């Protein structure tokens, strides 16, 4: 019987080495340790052995059993490791520098227009800046001349974090950092996602995009502002767009304006998008308030500048004829692709 045990030990080792998958290891386990497995059979065979030999043989068989169990477990682990290495190896061979060849889908309409605007402004010497979505109260309000308790805050209720920071309500929240970063003179645009606690309907969302721009230098006037706004709009809409400028109040500009465009959805006739007025507010703007320049470390006695806060989401709605703002955040590809597939 001893030879039989030894022969089994050898046989097991050879068979184990041939296993390459956890299924094969499991089969081997059943063949040796299962109810009818050969090690189990050996143990059963002990009944017929006389008492003297029983003890010694029993020890040998149990030793073999333990060895088989341990080796099976080791083999399962080795196979698992090898599989992982194979996958990592395959991932490493993936060449991320290869050009994308098979793209299905398209850019979101907001991305398309944002990039187009970035190109237009870059060609006019503006730097493009990215800015945080979570900002401090100072950045969002105080640095742009909206002190605590100022009524202008009522229009911009937003989502607050427990640490007192907030989701930015407008891209103007980046003005201070950008003025500090570049000093004067500077030209920069900074697109970004903004958040407000809004009652949602066809033209209001709690999440929307704006694109802010500032230009600071000696002798910047309203004429410069109008020139840049008109150039930008005619490029975006690829046609002459009727605009009107009317006074508007924003604490961070003086004077401040509302720049409206003739509603392109109804052609100025009046529809739900333009609240039946024929005009859509698109780009509030104005001359940067001296307090804002000062907060940004720029001397308002030497420098002047203009700022605008383009409603990017609204511009996209106009350009593509999107009647319901909710379509843009819906993630509904059917709704979105109709605007981006020519
Ligand atoms: N931050 C303003 C808002 O979201 C928009 C705005 C108005 C930005 C006038 C400007 C500006 O830069 O000059 O309501």
C-alpha to C-alpha distance for 134 and 269, rounded to whole angstroms: 40
DSSP structure string for 57-103: HHHHHHHHHHHHHHHHHHHHHHHHHHHHHHHHHHHHT--TTSPP---
Tokens of 217: 């230098």
Of the listed ranges 28-37, 52-61, 91-100, 187-196, the least confidently predicted one is 91-100
CB 13 within 8 A of CB 6: no
Of the listed ranges 42-56, 219-233, 257-271, the least confidently predicted one is 42-56
Pocket test for ligand 1, best of 167, 195, 250 (most atoms within 8 A of CB): 250
User: Which ligand 1 atom is nearest residue 309's CA?
Assistant: 8
- Mean predicted confidence (pLDDT) in 217-242: 89
Whether 40 has a pLDDT exceeding 60, the answer reads yes
CB 25 within 8 A of CB 15: no
Distances (CA, A) of 299 to 143, 180, 288, 305: 15, 12, 12, 11
Task: Dump pLDDT digits (tens) for 48-101.
Answer: 888 888 888 889 999 999 999 999 999 999 999 888 888 777 666 667 788 877
Whether 102 has a pLDDT exceeding 80, the answer reads no
Before 255, cis peptide (omega within 30)? Answer: yes
Pocket test for ligand 1, best of 155, 156, 171, 172 (most atoms within 8 A of CB): 172
Of 194, 189, 215, 183, which is closest to residue 130 (Cα–Cα)?
189
Whether 342 has a pLDDT exceeding 50, the answer reads no
User: Which ligand 1 atom is nearest residue 210's CA?
Assistant: 4
To the nearest 10°, report the CA torsion of 292, 206, 259, 130: 50
Q: Would the CB of 146 count as within 6 Å of ligand 1?
A: no
Q: Would the CB of 213 count as within 6 Å of ligand 1?
A: no
Q: Report the chain's terminal Cα–Cα distance, integer Å.
A: 83
- φ/ψ of residue 270, rounded to 5: 115, 125
């Amino acid at each position: 019987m001893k030879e039989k045990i030894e022969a089994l030990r050898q046989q097991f080792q050879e068979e184990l080495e041939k296993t390459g998958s956890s299924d094969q290891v499991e089969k081997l386990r059943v063949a040796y340790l299962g109810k009818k497995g050969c090690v189990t059979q050996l143990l059963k065979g002990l009944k017929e052995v006389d008492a003297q030999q029983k003890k010694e043989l029993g020890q040998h068989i149990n030793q073999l059993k333990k060895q088989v169990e341990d080796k099976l477990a080791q083999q399962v682990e080795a196979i698992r490791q090898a599989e992982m290495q194979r996958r990592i190896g395959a991932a490493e061979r993936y060449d991320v520098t290869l050009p994308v060849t098979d793209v299905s889908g398209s850019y979101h309409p907001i991305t398309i227009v944002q990039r187009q605007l970035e190109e237009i402004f870059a060609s006019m010497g503006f730097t493009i800046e990215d800015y945080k979505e979570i900002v401090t109260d100072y950045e969002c309000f105080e640095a742009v001349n909206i002190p605590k308790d100022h009524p202008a805050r009522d229009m911009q209720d937003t989502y607050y974090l427990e640490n007192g920071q907030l989701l930015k309500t407008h891209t103007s929240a980046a003005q201070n950092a950008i003025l500090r970063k570049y000093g004067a003179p500077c030209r920069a645009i900074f697109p970004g996602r903004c958040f407000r606690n809004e009652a949602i309907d066809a033209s209001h969302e709690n999440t929307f995009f704006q694109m802010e721009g500032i230009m600071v230098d000696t002798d910047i006037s309203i004429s410069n502002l109008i020139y840049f706004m008109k150039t930008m709009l005619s490029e975006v809409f690829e046609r002459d767009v009727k605009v009107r400028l009317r006074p508007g109040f924003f604490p961070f500009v003086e004077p401040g304006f509302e720049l409206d465009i003739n509603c392109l959805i109804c052609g100025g006739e009046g529809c739900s998008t333009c609240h039946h007025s024929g005009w859509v507010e698109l780009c509030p703007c104005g001359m940067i308030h001296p307090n804002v320049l000062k907060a940004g470390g720029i001397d308002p006695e030497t420098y002047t500048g203009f700022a605008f806060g383009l409603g990017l989401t609204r511009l996209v709605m106009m350009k593509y004829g999107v009647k319901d703002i909710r379509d843009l955040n819906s993630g509904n590809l059917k709704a979105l692709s109709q605007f981006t597939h020519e």
